[in-house]
Amino acid sequence: MILTEKTRRYFGTDGIRGRVGDGAITPEFVLKLGWAVGRVLAKEQHSKVLIGKDTRISGYMFESALQAGLSAAGVDIYLLGPMPTPAIAYLTRTFHAQAGIVISASHNPYYDNGIKFFSGKGTKLSDTIELEIEAMMEQPLETVSSALLGKAHRVDDAAGRYIEFCKSTISSGVDLYNLKLVIDCANGATYHIAPEVFKELGADIIVMGAEPDGLNINQNCGSTEPELLQAAVLEHQADLGLALDGDGDRLIMVDHKGHIVDGDELLFIIARAKQRLGGGQTVIVGTQMSNLGLEHALQRHDMTLHRAQVGDRYVMEKLRETGGIVGGESSGHIICLDKTSTGDGIVAALQVLAEMQETGSSLHELCSPITKYPQRLINIKVNKVIDLANNKEVTAAVEAVEAKLGNEGRVLLRASGTEPVIRVMVEGQDEVLTDQLASELASKIEIILQS
């Protein structure tokens, strides 16, 4: 199967992202972007827009640029400082703001950055709104009169508000006093949030990745590099570990044996918890990358997996379409619509910990119903836009691999929405054959794309 993303000039699957100083990730562009967003999303005089950021050094620069652009459009700005992406979604709702803006490149290295947006309801923007913003970017920047310029305010209690919200997403009868947790904050936006949440709920915590210096976000830590967390869980004989990414919307966990528990397994645990509590939830949303093992485990428990395109915005769209409340990605984006409006790593972790406490099961035991299929993912770097769907040689190569797998596996080929790579994924029952076919397919496609 070959997937393509809808063509937009600036926006990818999760806002606008790239290397600082290149393309759209410059102060000049971001200033104009702030103005355009103000014109499109905040049309009333002195509308309110919130701005938060992760811990990378360029966040200061882009915060100032956005602030200038929004002010020029006559929009009042509320500065949250370093805050997780889901916290900004939550606060946008509770402040009754017209929009929330996040300055973050999520799990990417410090030298990347990006801008993403939430509507006044705390949800990702629709394609239609993003296209309106892109169209506004083509118009000349016109500053409102001095009397109508937007004013800036700093929100000093943003962290406290969000900490209390996170704790409210589990029953007041759940406490974590008998759990030892290792928490990896990825030197990112949760460094001053996550430890407080779990500590206030009574857990014995060991904290990693909570000393951001502007350059070490996601570096050898966090949800994309959990090796040090695995070692720490074993060293401290902890009940489990949890790793967030730089902006706090992804979660990966580690069980007491040091085994990785990814987004598919977390999604299964949370879905089973909803089912056990009598929610009647039978629709679960994953993505094209979700493991077949998840799909089969859900089927055995009378639940159906619906697959969306990769990207939490598309998971959200599928949840709305199907009436589901729980969805997520293998990478650890987990959405619980009965708790919040977007993917939230801390909230997802709390749902898993609550299920452990209420069932008396370990994290390892809660994962046991899933037998995951071997899955091999290979990234091919590209330096130009590739039309995968209409390349006959690429299509033929994919179909040849699908024929060898038959009904015992699948192939997924897609262009990343956040990085200049083509992702090649092969999944099958036989690990050796899966690895072999993935390597062969990636090599063929690389040759085709270079020709």
Asked if residues 17 and 114 have their Cβ atoms less than 8 Å apart, the reply is: yes
pLDDT, greater one: 445 or 160: 160
Rounded Cα distance between 429 and 164, Å, is 44
Question: Is 91 inside a domain boundary?
Answer: yes
Question: Is 166 inside a domain boundary?
Answer: no
pLDDT score of 45: 66
What domain count does the chain have? 4
Asked if residue 429 and residue 289 are part of one domain, the reply reads no
Asked if residue 106 and residue 54 are part of one domain, the reply reads yes
Asked if residue 146 and residue 35 are part of one domain, the reply reads yes
pLDDT score of 144: 94
Rounded Cα distance between 68 and 60, Å, is 13
Confidence of residue 280 (pLDDT cuts 50, 70, 90): low
Q: Which of 143, 147, 145 is nearest to 31 (CA)?
A: 143
Asked if residue 108 and residue 190 are part of one domain, the reply reads no
At a CB cut-off of 8 Å and minimum separation 6, what does 179 contact?
203, 204, 239, 240, 353, 356, 357
pLDDT score of 431: 92
pLDDT, greater one: 261 or 397: 261
Q: Over range 327-333, report the average pLDDT.
A: 96
What is the side-by-side order of every strand in the sheet holding 152-154? 16-19, 112-119, 99-103, 48-53, 76-82, 152-154
Asked if residue 7 and residue 145 are part of one domain, the reply reads yes
Question: Is 164 inside a domain boundary?
Answer: no
Asked if residue 187 and residue 131 are part of one domain, the reply reads no
pLDDT score of 127: 83
Is residue 416's pLDDT more than 80? Answer: no
Encoding tokens for residue 113?
Answer: 């950055």
- Output the DSSP codes for 266-320: HHHHHHHHHHHTT----EEEEETTS-HHHHHHHHHTT-EEEEE-SSHHHHHHHHH
Encoding tokens for residue 440?
Answer: 């062969």
Is residue 160's pLDDT more than 90? Answer: yes
CATH code for the domain in which residue 326 is found: 3.40.120.10
Encoding tokens for residue 314?
Answer: 């598309």
Asked if residue 191 and residue 234 are part of one domain, the reply reads yes
CATH code for the domain in which residue 416 is found: 3.30.310.50
Asked if residue 142 and residue 18 are part of one domain, the reply reads yes
Q: Over range 267-281, report the average pLDDT.
A: 88
Q: Which DSSP letter does residue 76 get?
A: E
Q: How much is the pTM? A: 0.89
Question: Is 168 inside a domain boundary?
Answer: no
Asked if residue 22 and residue 78 are part of one domain, the reply reads yes
Domain boundary (157, 192, 207) is at 157
Is residue 2's pLDDT more than 70? Answer: no
Neighbouring-strand partners of residue 427: 375, 410
Question: Is 171 inside a domain boundary?
Answer: no
Rounded Cα distance between 83 and 85, Å, is 6
Q: What is the pLDDT of residues 361-392, one digit of tens each?
A: 999 999 999 999 998 999 988 876 667 778 88
Rounded Cα distance between 211 and 368, Å, is 35
Annotated catalytic residue, options 71, 106, 331, 341: 106
Rounded Cα distance between 339 and 325, Å, is 9
Question: Is 172 inside a domain boundary?
Answer: no
- Give the angle 84-85-91 at the CA atoms, nearest 5°: 90
pLDDT score of 195: 98
Domain boundary (372, 404, 429) is at 372
At a CB cut-off of 8 Å and minimum separation 6, what does 147 contact?
none
106 noted as active-site residue:
yes
H-only helix segments in 10-113: 27-41, 59-72, 85-94
Asked if residue 122 and residue 12 are part of one domain, the reply reads yes
Average pLDDT score, the chain: 92
Asked if residue 315 and residue 273 are part of one domain, the reply reads yes
Confidence of residue 313 (pLDDT cuts 50, 70, 90): confident
Axis-axis angle for helices 85-94, 345-359 (nearest 10): 100
Q: What is the pLDDT of residues 176-213, one digit of tens each?
A: 999 999 999 999 999 999 999 999 999 999 999 999 99
Domain boundary (101, 127, 157) is at 157
Q: At 215, is the secondary structure helix, strand, or coil?
A: coil
Q: Which domain holds residue 357?
A: 262-372
Count helices and strands in the chain by DSSP H and E runs: 14, 19
Asked if residue 49 and residue 31 are part of one domain, the reply reads yes
Question: Is 433 inside a domain boundary?
Answer: yes
